[in-house]
Amino acid sequence: NIVLTQSPATLSVTPGESVSLSCRASQSISTSIHWYQQKSNESPRLLIKYASQSISGIPSRFSGSGSGTDFTLSINRVESEDFSIYYCQQSYSSLLTFGSGTKLEIK
């Protein structure tokens, strides 16, 4: 199985700061990585597909980059509604896997 390692586990930031969240794959997965946001007591929401492709209705401050084994989700000027947990997921293998998540919290 492909293992995804997200870092850091927790990121404490002040609203208005820009941040980068990391996801590293245990083998090369091209650009088959997707990013989700999950707020407390809600279903996950797809933010970015295939490493950098935007999703309709998602604010433009969210962007993704990377290929191979290293991927980044960037949030430009974090807003209060962005404090939640972020997961990456790979679909390179037909056996999908999620990372363990990064919690974005208010400093």
- Contacting residue, 14, 60, 80, 94, with other proteins by CB under 8 A: 94
Query: Which CB, 13 or 58, lies closer to other proteins?
Result: 58
- Burial class (CB within 10 angstroms; exposed 0-12, middle 13-18, buried 19+) of 80: exposed
User: Is 3 an interacting residue with respect to other proteins (CB under 8 A)?
Assistant: no
Candidates 38, 52, 69, 74; binder of other proteins (CB under 8 A) is 38
Q: Is 24 exposed, middle or buried (0-12, 13-18, 19+ CB in 10 A)?
A: middle
SS3 of 57, please? coil
User: Whole-number minimum distance, CB 68 to other proteins, in Å?
Assistant: 21
The yes or no reply on residue 98 touching other proteins (CB under 8 A) is: yes
Q: Rule CB under 8 A: is residue 34 a binding residue for other proteins?
A: yes
Residues 39-78 that bind other proteins (CB under 8 A): 43-46, 49, 55
Contact by Cβ (8 Å): 24, 81: no
- How far apart CA 55 and CA 72 sit, in angstroms, is 16
Residues that bind other proteins (CB under 8 A): 1, 34, 36, 38, 43-46, 49, 55, 85, 87, 89, 94-101
